[in-house]
Structure 1
Amino acid sequence: MKIKIKLSKTTDEAESAHIVASIHDLLVEILLRLPIKSLVRFKVVSKKWHSLITNPEFCYLRNPDPNPAIGLFLPCSGSRTDVSFEFLPFSNQKSTNSPFNKLNFTEDPSGIRILQSCNGLLLCCSSWTRVHNLKYYVYNPTTKNFSTLPNLEPRTGISNQIRGMSLAFDPTKSPHYTVVCIRGFETDSDEYRYQIESYSSNTGPWRICSEPFTAEANFENGVYFNGAIHWINTGIGDSLYYDIENQALETMQMPPIPHGWDWRDNFYFGESCGHLYYMDIRGSNIGFDVYEMKKDQSEWFVKYQVDLAPVVAVYPGMIRDEYHPTDWCYYAFSVFSLIADEEGGNSFLVLQIPGKVLRFNLDSKTFEMLHEFEGAEFEDFLRFSGTNAFQYMESLCCV
């Protein structure tokens, strides 16, 4: 026979809890020590708690530095209107539940895909529809809150051809974010030009922020770093960046280009914990340099030198030489992301090889398997193409 015993708080315990909750500074100190997932649940306790936890000042106190990424969202191949994602946590010591498998925070018949991740927020858009019907969203996967961006209005002389959308957000500087849009149009002389428009969650509607300009840049892959959106040049000359605060379009030195380099080759260009990185990655070369941009954006320097020969020795399935002479091999691998950990000395690459994902420590040169894909024993190819992966960071910031 089972006996159920109901435990209840004594009057003294209830009064003590009430007293603690009524002392604002003490309550803040207690909440600051809780994990973010608990804080998300505790927002519904009362209006007071909701106001406290969503306050930008509390968010900053909770994380004075941007949270390090704890995983990646990998877009799976599928229909254009049925976009799904595989979540890859960085820690293999404890399970981390995926925040989502599909982006269904709002009804969008076209499906929703991710364009960019920036310090805990995701810039998303309709997956497949006519250009003038595209919807753009800023989504916080931790709190499940989102905002729909206002539509871009047609302007005289400017087509609705959107060449790129990028998100700029730094919670250590401001609770507000900016979205930068590059629109392209042809002039009367048949010259193709670009123009920058921006939207601020603080000041509101879209506005033109630049004179028309010409450029050779990959505007689809903008990276936020040091208060600006950066784009890699796809031709000859300097790269570009747009300074958000000063509303100025500037040039930046291109990363060092190896002999015979072609912009269509596989490269990695990304940011982590306030550092901007670039790698020229070729399947014919398992040794490459990791370049980092100086904070003043004056030049690139070699931060790490990578040699994947020890990885190939353990996973010889990376070698692809059946279509090439015996003295030249192709290696199947790609870099999903570089995650910086300057203080701990544990910066690492998230490295994809056939059927698996590895964590390659850039300081110790050691590696371990993070994830093995289902059916990996039958795979001799890379499941995910390119470096199209999006960092996930826990954040309480409002959108």
Structure 2
Amino acid sequence: MISQSCNGLLLCHTVHNPFTFDENYYIFNPTTQQFVTLPRPLSGDVIGMSLAFDPWKSSHYKVISLQISKLEPANHLIEIYSPEHKKWRVSGQTFPRHYDICFKNGLVYWNGAIYVSCIKRFNVEQEKFEEVAIPEVQDHEEDDYRIVYFGESYGHLHLIQVNRQNLALYNVYEMKHDGTGWFLKYEVNVEDVVLAFPHIIRGFLETTDFHYYGMAVLDVVRGDKEEDSFLILHIPGMVILRYNLVDKSFYKLWDFDNGVHDAFAWCLHFDRSNTYQYIESTYCW
């Protein structure tokens, strides 16, 4: 299974019994077809791992492992692996287990930190966890909002927030370069997509239900030019769309009705954690 994509390298793992903590982890470069098997950490059972690789800052990647401490089973600990030394080392002290730190799916590496969620990150350089603010809610209760996308693209960190009062309106926020807060980058109304594909409306649900539209945001992609930035949208059983963030045009990238059995197509319900960005990398071992 792919756990994470980071600047051309993939962090992968085998799938075993989730209660035995016996997964093997690998770093794989699809461009060169090379991979390396990571040695197992020794200080505890591995909950999950994350990859930190920024070829503009260093020619080496780092792997951060979240573990259950063997000596203190009620606590977590962090170990860090570097190919320079080819071994793991313990980082800092053990700390109480937190429900919002899992190191499994949806991890995002950006600007020297691993975002384990949109509200918490691990600063790789300072080797500590930090809280992250989310956009302030205006005029409505917090329960009226939901984050439907969180990810990085070409040096920019984004999240998309929707309001249950208007589920077709995507507020695309971007993190400031110093990581201190968010600003509204794009305001996108996808009603034109709903009109083009009315089957995504789930009429058996209330119009304020966050699942009312059967559509998922797979990615926010920033282009070299502002007008080249776009969303990747998935409509289960139908299509994957490219939606331009500037001129609001869209077209099909993939049509599941083209030669795919309907029953199979409807099983392909992707979301952000099922898809991974990939760029070519010359990194080799």
Q: CA deviation at 1:171?
A: 1.0
1:82-138 deviations in Å (ceiling 9; x for gaps): xxxxxxxxxxxxxxxxxxxxxxxxxxxxxxx10000010000011235644311000
1:233-258 deviations in Å (ceiling 9; x for gaps): 6xxxxx32222223233222234457
1:168 aligns with 2:20: no
1:370 aligns with 2:253: yes
In structure 1, distance between residues paired with 2:161 and 2:47 = 24
The answer (yes or no) to whether the contact 1:185–1:193 under 8 Å persists in 2 is yes
* Match of residue 124, structure 1, among 1, 6, 12: 12
Query: Counterpart amino acid of 1:196?
Result: I
The answer (yes or no) to whether the contact 2:206–2:212 under 8 Å persists in 1 is no
Residue 61 (structure 1) aligns with:
none
Q: 1:313 to 1:181 in 2, by over 3 A?
A: same
Q: 1:325 to 1:372 in 2, by over 3 A?
A: same
In structure 2, distance between residues paired with 1:226 and 1:309 = 34
Alignment of 1:306-321 (within 5 A): 306-321=188-203
The answer (yes or no) to whether the contact 2:216–2:233 under 8 Å persists in 1 is yes
Residue 117 (structure 2) aligns with:
232
1:184 aligns with 2:68: yes
Tell me, what secondary structure is at the counterpart of 2:277? strand
Identical amino acids, percent of aligned pairs: 36
More helix by share: 1
Query: Counterpart amino acid of 1:124?
Result: C
Alignment of 1:155-304 (within 5 A): 155=43, 159-160=44-45, 162-184=46-68, 192-214=74-96, 215-219=98-102, 220=104, 221-232=106-117, 239-256=119-136, 259-261=141-143, 267-280=148-161, 285-304=167-186
In structure 1, distance between residues paired with 2:85 and 2:108 = 22
Query: Counterpart amino acid of 2:9?
Result: L
1:12-34 deviations in Å (ceiling 9; x for gaps): xxxxxxxxxxxxxxxxxxxxxxx
* Match of residue 218, structure 2, among 323, 336, 353: 336
Q: CA deviation at 1:327?
A: 9.1
Query: Counterpart amino acid of 1:368?
Result: Y
Rg comparison, structure with higher value:
1
The answer (yes or no) to whether the contact 2:41–2:79 under 8 Å persists in 1 is no
Tell me, what secondary structure is at the counterpart of 2:246? coil
Q: CA deviation at 1:151?
A: 0.9
1:318-373 deviations in Å (ceiling 9; x for gaps): 1110x236898911100111111153531111100131100011111111110012
Residue 353 (structure 1) aligns with:
235
In structure 1, distance between residues paired with 2:244 and 2:188 = 10
* Match of residue 149, structure 1, among 31, 34, 38: 38
The answer (yes or no) to whether the contact 2:221–2:230 under 8 Å persists in 1 is yes
Aligned pair count reads 273
Q: CA deviation at 1:145?
A: 0.4
Tell me, what secondary structure is at the counterpart of 1:311? helix
**RMSD over aligned Cα, in angstroms?**
2.9
Tell me, what secondary structure is at the counterpart of 2:48? strand
Q: 1:208 to 1:138 in 2, by over 3 A?
A: same
Q: CA deviation at 1:229?
A: 0.8
Q: CA deviation at 1:217?
A: 1.9
The answer (yes or no) to whether the contact 1:223–1:231 under 8 Å persists in 2 is yes
Tell me, what secondary structure is at the counterpart of 1:395? coil
Q: 1:260 to 1:326 in 2, by over 3 A?
A: closer
Tell me, what secondary structure is at the counterpart of 1:336? strand
Q: Which runs of 4+ in 1 moved over 4 A?
A: 185-188, 281-284, 325-329, 374-377, 379-382
TM-score calculated relative to the size of structure 1: 0.62
Tell me, what secondary structure is at the counterpart of 1:310? helix
The answer (yes or no) to whether the contact 1:281–1:334 under 8 Å persists in 2 is no
Alignment of 1:31-42 (within 5 A): none
In structure 2, distance between residues paired with 1:303 and 1:364 = 14
More strand by share: 2
Query: Counterpart amino acid of 2:30?
Result: P
TM-score calculated relative to the size of structure 2: 0.84
1:391 aligns with 2:272: no
Residue 140 (structure 1) aligns with:
29
The answer (yes or no) to whether the contact 1:332–1:382 under 8 Å persists in 2 is no
Q: 1:185 to 1:254 in 2, by over 3 A?
A: farther
The answer (yes or no) to whether the contact 2:218–2:270 under 8 Å persists in 1 is no
Q: CA deviation at 1:303?
A: 1.0
1:324 aligns with 2:205: yes
